[in-house]
Amino acid sequence: MAGLGSGAVRPPDTRQAARNRYIGRRHGQMPPILDKSPPIVPEQGTSPATPDSSPKAAMPPHHGARPRPLPSEQTAATEDISVVTLHGAIDHHTVDDLSNTLLFPRGAATARTVINLSAVTFIDSSGINAFITAHHAAQRAGGWLRLAGPIEPVLRVIQIVGLDEVMGCYPSTRRALVA
């Protein structure tokens, strides 16, 4: 080694040394690190954390998660126009529910539908695709599909992908109904 005398010892690489210590502990070759922090004891009268209150429950589902339902309400605004109000996030976890709601509306005898998005907080490409599919189905049946009242982040996605150019997008349900 250049720069070190003949008897000089090179200091060990700290990352490699830490890795060796970890591997040694894992295989029982070194004593475990002692945790000096006090144990966590639940307060008297409280129960241990329930699954709903765990940090994991607050995290969004991952790719392996089962689809969750998309809350929706359907009302008849007039004899031949139905209004579907959606709530929450529209993503790959809720898109099946959305498709079922839009393509097979409960009790609707019309192909004219206004979708109230005022309570929708998020939409991704799977939701956009479901709207386009429902729009084409409504057109084949001689009707239409209109979007109404999206909040700013949802409206921005709709505008970026050009969905507002394909089907009507209105600031309120009332405006969508009279258009």
pLDDT for 121-145, tens place per residue? 999 999 999 999 999 988 988 899 9
| 41 within domain boundaries | no
89 strand-pairing partners: 122
- Give the domain extent around 131: 72-178
| 14 within domain boundaries | no
Q: What confidence tier does 110 reach under pLDDT thresholds 50, 70, 90?
A: low
Task: Please give the pLDDT value at position 74.
Answer: 65
Nearest to 86 by CA among 103, 73, 102, 67: 73
Q: What confidence tier does 165 reach under pLDDT thresholds 50, 70, 90?
A: very high
pLDDT for 85-103, tens place per residue? 999 999 999 998 888 888 8
Q: How far apart are CA 98 and CA 47, in angstroms?
A: 38
| 83 within domain boundaries | yes
CB 93 within 8 A of CB 116: no
Q: What is the mean pLDDT of residues 156-162?
A: 96
Q: What is the DSSP letter of 1?
A: -
Pinpoint the alpha helices (H) of 49-124: 55-58, 95-103
| 31 within domain boundaries | no
- What 3-state class would DSSP assign to 173? helix
Number of domains in the chain: 1
| 65 within domain boundaries | no
pLDDT > 70: what percent of the chain?
A: 53
The CATH number for 140's domain is: 3.30.750.24
| 7 within domain boundaries | no
| 126 within domain boundaries | yes
| 153 within domain boundaries | yes
